[in-house]
Amino acid sequence: MSNESLANLLKEERRFAPPADLAANANVTAEAYEQAKADRLGFWAEQARRLTWAKEPTETLDWSNPPFAKWFKDGTLNVAYNCVDRHVEAGHGDRVAIHFEGESGDGRTLTYAQLKDEVSKAANALLELGVRKGDRVAIYMPMIPETAIAMLACARIGAPHSVVFGGFSSDALATRIQDADARVVITADGGYRRGKPSALKPAVDEAVERAGIVEHVLVVRRTGQDVAWDDSRDKWWHETVERQSAEHTPEEFDAEHPLFILYTSGTTGKPKGILHTSGGYLTQTAYTHWAVFDLKPETDVFWCTADVGWVTGHSYIVYGPLANGATQVMYEGTPDTPHQGRFWEIVQKYGVTILYTAPTAIRTFMKWGDDIPAKFDLSSLRVLGSVGEPINPEAWIWYRKNIGADATPVVDTWWQTETGSMMITPLPGVTEAKPGSAQRPLPGIAATVVDDEANEVPNGGGGYLVLTEPWPSMLRTIWGDDQRFIDTYWSRFEGKYFAGDGAKRDDDGDIWLLGRVDDVMLVSGHNISTTEVESALVSHPSVAEAAVVGAADETTGQAIVAFVILRGTAAESEDLVTELRNHVGATLGPIAKPKRILPVAELPKTRSGKIMRRLLRDVAENRQLGDVTTLTDSTVMDLIQTKLPAAP
Ligand code: 6R9
């Protein structure tokens, strides 16, 4: 953003106070902000006491060699013990840990006592396969309980896991196996997706062949489909794990012992293996899951709809909820199988009280229509969360109104794979909520918005989001590449973590996220955020979803090109396009009017639901498409290309 700070275009005046009863019984009150401000490290030291340490840490943060942080470094603990055993020891062995809902309606309930046995057996099996402390294990699985069990078994023996999203190609899996030098892969024959078994093992076979270093493949039988088998290498989970002893004594590891590597693709270059360690990561995931969702472990039923292959699944299906002894739902399939009310049917069936999902899902539900959730009893819900992208104010309002009975708080949580857990978000019992804004850094977190020269922008200004103090669940490095870690995150602004997101501060000082800096458009010398133009489009009753990009333009530098998905009833026409352009002009000002608006059937998205604007930019600029390997459905791009007349 060289010419001018991000234009501050969107005005959102709606406000929602926390419900009185929730505020009165909230886990966290406004005092937490004061307390953390007065003594930030003392605050985190106190949060670390949520965990059970084998040896209590005496030092909170060692920041003597920035940006390489060490949190709680003289403490030792076992992460799996914290997520499982200690709840059983505390007398909660009969509490449900996981209500598993298979796509085809099959299900299974695991109590904490059962989870302890399963994790112990899996840990013993990994030991039998020769896995030792520090060895990396790749996990390529559908959304089934064995995935969480496998991750916890790795944590239990100190073997960092690298979960690779089950939808990624064998290529992507092979690169990640190689980069982490993983000798063991845990997978399944397949999983259910859209009513059909979807194979995983063939991709593993190919990846293992290509990587050339894998010694054992442990295979869960989920679908029963035929699989190729290599007797010297492949082992069935039900044969290898089931015969193990359910006794396994957890070993204690240093707080900074690596817990997992998770690859983020980024826009260019080879994927970055984001490294997270044990004590600080678990402290912040447990704290945020408890604070931001106001979790009451005895009564709440939590459901995070993310895939475990995404960081959201790591932190808010596996580590945060289980460290807190929560009861949660885990769902294998898609939201429209066998019908478009599937999510609401699940909420009703299990009495879900806290729901955590992504804006892309919410916009899809909006498109499907209000009458679908209206058919189900959603009265158990008391807190709704959003993560993954900026949530358009209209989607926020829809979520609260149609899912939350116009009463539940919506927490819009900003964070990244790199931050490990939530960083900027309202608190449900404290914050007067603003639709579309993540609002404030959590207690103990220091975030701000700066301009090109690293000066903090005043209220009303826009620029780059930075984190100004280390935090417990921060990434420790990029696996095998400390220099890339420094260059990517710590070099843009001296001494500050550069998140790569554009942001603005409103007149109250609240933070609004405006999308990736790489996506910001420069139109006639004005930096305009894709998010704001998209939100303006989505606020029109005919638009369900929108993706906006800047395409090279001779007169204005870049011109705004919008791809829109129309709502079911809206017909595509010249008049509608003109109306949409005028609507954006009226909402944001003439500078933000898209030059072209193209109705499309689908938008290109990553597996975690993020719109891949760079591919749309390629289309808008008539270029060869870049890397499409992380796309959910690559045929989407063919459809979009046929919509686009050759650029003028
Ligand atoms: C957790 C996760 C990180 C990027 C991040 C930002 C976007 C996530 C957001 C949000 C606005 C929110 N993002 N949550 N933008 N508001 N509440 O998504 O991790 O997959 O690494 O993506 O997602 O652009 O920088 P990850």
Nearest CA to ligand 1 atom 22: 416
My answer on whether omega of the bond before 373 falls inside 30° of 0, hence cis, is no
pLDDT value at position 590?
92
How far away, in angstroms, is 608 Cα from ligand 1 center?
10
- Of 361, 357, 270, the C-alpha closest to 632 is 361
Q: For 165-185, what is each residue's pLDDT tens digit?
A: 998 899 999 999 999 999 999
The annotation status of 496 as a binding-site residue, yes or no, is no
* Band of pLDDT at residue 11, cut at 50, 70 and 90: confident
Tell how far the Cα of 177 is from the centroid of ligand 1, in angstroms: 25
Q: Does 543 belong to an annotated binding site? A: yes
Lowest mean pLDDT among 97-111, 216-230, 296-310, 609-623: 609-623
> Which pLDDT band holds residue 292 (cuts at 50, 70, 90)?
very high
Q: How far is the CA of 645 from the centre of ligand 1 (A)?
A: 32
User: What is the reported pLDDT for 3?
Assistant: 46
Q: What is the pLDDT of residue 616?
A: 93
Ligand 1 atom nearest to 424, measured from its CA: 17
Q: What is the mean pLDDT of residues 175-196?
A: 96
Stretch (H or E) spanning 268: none
Residues with beta carbon inside 6 Å of ligand 1?
264, 311-312, 387-390, 412-417, 438, 499-501, 513, 516, 608
Residues 517 and 501: beta-carbon distance below 8 Å? yes
**Of the residues 389, 412, 422, which should be mutated to test ligand 1's pocket, given the most ligand atoms within 8 Å of the CB?**
389
Residue 538 labelled as part of a binding site = yes
* Span 148-153, average pLDDT: 98
280 is in an annotated binding site: no
**Closest listed residue to residue 124, CA positions, set 266, 284, 243:** 243
Tell me: pLDDT of 367 over 80.
Answer: yes
**Residue 267: pLDDT over 80:** no
| Res 646 pLDDT > 60 | no
In this prediction, residues 349-362 reach a mean pLDDT of 97
- Residue in the block written with tokens 């995070």: 304
- pLDDT category at 543 given cuts 50, 70, 90 is very high
Helix or strand or coil: residue 127? helix
Average pLDDT, the chain: 94
- CA 366 – ligand 1 centroid, Å: 21
Does residue 318 sit in helix, strand or coil?
A: helix
Question: Rounded distance, CA 128 to CA 457, Å?
Answer: 56
Residues 6+ apart with CB under 8 A from 620: 549, 551, 561, 596, 644, 647
Are the C-beta atoms of 465 and 447 separated by less than 8 Å? Answer: yes
Q: Half-sphere exposure (CA, 13 Å, Cβ side) for 626? A: 16
How far apart are alpha carbons 121 and 46 in whole angstroms? 33
CB atoms under 10 Å from CB of 537, counted, come to: 29
164: its two tokens: 């690779």
Q: Write the pLDDT tens digit of every residue in 477-492.
A: 999 999 999 999 999 9
Tell which residue, 456, 476, 453, has the closest CA to residue 465: 456
* Distances, alpha carbon 42 to alpha carbons 31, 35, 74, 319, 424, in Å: 14, 9, 16, 23, 20
**Mean pLDDT in residue range 256-278:** 88
Residue 568 annotated as lining a ligand binding site: no
- Mutation choice for ligand 1 from 315, 518, 532, 610, CB with most ligand atoms inside 8 A: 610
What band does 213 get if pLDDT is binned at 50, 70 and 90?
A: very high
Binning pLDDT at 50, 70 and 90, where does residue 1 land? very low
**Is 388 annotated in some ligand binding site?**
yes
d(CA 567, CA 207): 41
Residue with tokens 């030059």: 595
Q: 387 CA distance to ligand 1 centroid (A)?
A: 7
pLDDT value, residue 167:
87
Q: How confident is the model at residue 623 (pLDDT cuts 50, 70, 90)?
A: confident
Element (H, E) at 342: helix 342-350
For 591-605, write each residue's pLDDT tens digit: 999 999 999 999 999
CA angle (310 as vertex; 627, 141 as ends), nearest 5:
95
Q: In Å, what is the CA distance from 201 to each residue of 64, 104, 263? A: 46, 20, 20
**Mean predicted confidence (pLDDT) in 325-352:** 97
When pLDDT is cut at 50, 70 and 90, the band that residue 4 belongs to is: low
Weakest mean pLDDT among 147-156, 255-264, 569-578: 569-578
pLDDT at position 2, please?
A: 43
Quick: pLDDT tens for 32-71.
999 999 999 999 999 999 999 999 999 999 999 999 999 9
Residue located nearest, by CA, to atom 1 of ligand 1:
416
Distances (CA, A) of 390 to 177, 180, 214, 471: 32, 32, 39, 22
Is 393 annotated as contributing to ligand binding? no
Q: How far is the CA of 417 from the centre of ligand 1 (A)?
A: 8
Q: What percentage of the chain carries pLDDT values higher than 90?
A: 88
How far is ligand 1, taken at its centre, from the CA of residue 515, in Å? 8
pLDDT at 146: 98
Q: What does the DSSP assignment read for 529-569?
A: -HHHHHHHHHTSTTEEEEEEEEEEETTTEEEEEEEEEEPTT
Q: What mean pLDDT do residues 529-552 have?
A: 95
Q: Which residues contact 538 (CB under 8 A, 6 or more apart)?
A: 363, 392, 394, 395, 544, 545, 546
Is the pLDDT confidence value at 648 over 50? no
- Give me the pLDDT at residue 644, please: 66
Question: How far apart are the CA of 415 and the centre of ligand 1, in A?
Answer: 5
74-88, 285-299, 349-363, 559-573, range with the lowest pLDDT: 559-573
pLDDT in the model for residue 641? 78
Taking residues 214-221, what's their average pLDDT? 98
Does 318 carry a binding-site annotation? no
Amino acid 647: pLDDT: 42
Q: Which atom of ligand 1 is nearest to the CA of 515?
A: 24
User: Cis link prior to 428 (omega < 30° from 0)?
Assistant: no
Q: According to the model, what pLDDT value does residue 645 have?
A: 57
| 338 belongs to an annotated ligand binding site | no
The H or E element containing residue 527 is strand 526-528
Nearest-atom index, ligand 1, CA of 418 = 21
- pLDDT more than 70, % of the chain: 98
- What pLDDT is recorded for position 159? 98
Q: Which residue minimizes the CA distance to atom 3 of ligand 1?
A: 416
Q: How far is CA 442 from CA 21, 43, 74, 261, in A?
A: 22, 12, 26, 25
Atom of ligand 1 nearest to the CA of 264: 21
Mean pLDDT of the region 439-465: 96
**In terms of pTM, does the model score above 0.90?**
yes
CA of 414 to the centre of ligand 1 (A): 6
**Could you tell me how many residues make up the chain?**
648
